[in-house]
């Protein structure tokens, strides 16, 4: 490794240790086991070299929010670290015409918020299977809008059940749970409590849909208190993104 690589690796190791400490403290405070919460490193806007270093440091799960950026990055990480095989999560808004591309790199899509998108992913998966690109179904989460402002993505709370029913009838998709981003200007705790309730009623009908993806750099502690099983952390691991970046 070059000197800058060594320095960056040290920086990332320290950041992981800090985030791990927060996760452990939040789990302990909530009376939960550490292994109930998965950490996804959100590598958007950061280079494949950083993602590769994260896998060196033990991160098994990586996430991205834009297909155009993620596809090439995932391929580059696979070249840099052929044995790492991280699990890639799509966490951003997804247009239906990107479905075919997304299933080439994503193991899980956390941002399914409409029946039409689910249908497009089902068709894309069928094509990927025919092309020999995939053998396993695609894991999906329903993105929930906790304040009903669906312009920022997500399906309203009242429509989660209907979308779940739809998804479980689409071939090639495996419904694994729910995902949400805390609304701007709302107390994250209140919002995450609403998500926990939605997750619980979903599990009553679909017991295997047990993932609750909630919590980012600034609110992962509250998310874990309210039952998150999956935190998506970018800034606290990799540093601040450029101003112009999403
Ligand atoms: C960018 C992003 C994250 C990570 O946000 P940070 O505040 O940098 O930790 C999590 N979830 C989604 C959907 C994102 O787009």
CATH assignment of the domain containing 29: 3.20.20.10
Domain contains 77: yes
Does residue 243 form part of some domain? no
Residue 164 lies in a domain: yes
Which numbered atom of ligand 1 lies nearest the CA of 233?
9
The pLDDT, as a whole number, for residue 243 is: 61
- Residue 242 located in a structural domain: no
How many residues in total does the chain contain?
246
204: CA distance to ligand 1 center in Å? 29
Instruction: Give the structural domain span for 16.
Output: 3-236
Q: Record the pTM.
A: 0.96
198 is a domain residue: yes
Contact 13, 57 (CB under 8 A): yes
Question: Which of 234, 241, 242 for mutating ligand 1's site (highest number of atoms within 8 Å of CB)?
Answer: 234
Domain count, the chain: 1
Q: Does ligand 1 lie within 6 Å of residue 217's CB atom?
A: yes
- Is residue 121 within 8 A of residue 129, CB to CB? The reply is no
Tell whether ligand 1 has an atom less than 6 A from the beta carbon of residue 188.
no
Averaged over successive runs of 10 residues, the pLDDT of the chain (246 residues) comes to 89 98 98 98 98 98 98 98 98 97 98 98 97 96 92 93 98 97 91 97 98 98 98 97 64
C-alpha distance from residue 218 to each of 19, 45, 225 (Å): 11, 18, 14
CA angle 200, 203, 205 (to 5 degrees): 125
- Residue 63 belongs to a domain: yes
Instruction: Assess whether the C-beta atom of 44 lies below 6 angstroms from ligand 1.
Output: yes
Alpha-carbon distance values, 82 to 40, 53, 79, 86 (Å): 20, 13, 5, 10
Q: Is ligand 1 within 6 A of the CB of residue 8?
A: no
Can you tell me which atom of ligand 1 is nearest the CA of 91?
13
Task: Tell whether 141 is covered by a domain.
Answer: yes
In a domain, 46, yes or no: yes
Q: Which residue has a Cα nearest atom 7 of ligand 1?
A: 217
């Amino acid at each position: 490794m070059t000197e800058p690589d060594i320095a960056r690796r040290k920086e990332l190791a320290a950041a992981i240790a800090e985030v791990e400490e927060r996760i452990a403290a939040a789990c302990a405070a909530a009376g939960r086991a550490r292994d109930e919460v998965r950490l996804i490193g959100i590598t958007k806007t950061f280079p494949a070299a950083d993602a590769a270093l994260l896998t060196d440091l033990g991160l098994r799960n990586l996430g991205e929010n834009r297909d155009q950026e993620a596809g090439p990055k995932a391929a580059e990480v696979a070249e840099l670290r052929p044995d790492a095989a991280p699990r890639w999560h799509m966490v951003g808004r997804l247009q239906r015409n990107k479905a075919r591309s997304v299933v080439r790199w994503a193991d899980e899509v956390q941002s399914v918020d409409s029946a039409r998108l689910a249908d497009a992913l089902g068709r894309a998966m069928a094509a990927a299977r025919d092309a020999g690109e995939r053998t396993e179904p695609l894991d999906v989460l329903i993105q929930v809008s906790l304040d009903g402002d669906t312009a920022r993505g997500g399906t309203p709370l009242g429509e989660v059940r209907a979308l779940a029913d739809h998804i479980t009838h689409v071939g090639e998709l495996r419904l694994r749970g729910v995902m949400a981003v805390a609304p701007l200007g709302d107390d994250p705790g209140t919002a995450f409590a609403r998500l926990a309730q939605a997750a619980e009623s979903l599990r009553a009908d679909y017991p295997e849909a047990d993932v609750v993806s909630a919590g980012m750099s600034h609110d992962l502690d509250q998310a874990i208190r309210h039952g998150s099983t999956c935190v998506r952390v970018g800034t606290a691991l990799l540093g601040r993104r450029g101003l112009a970046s999403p």
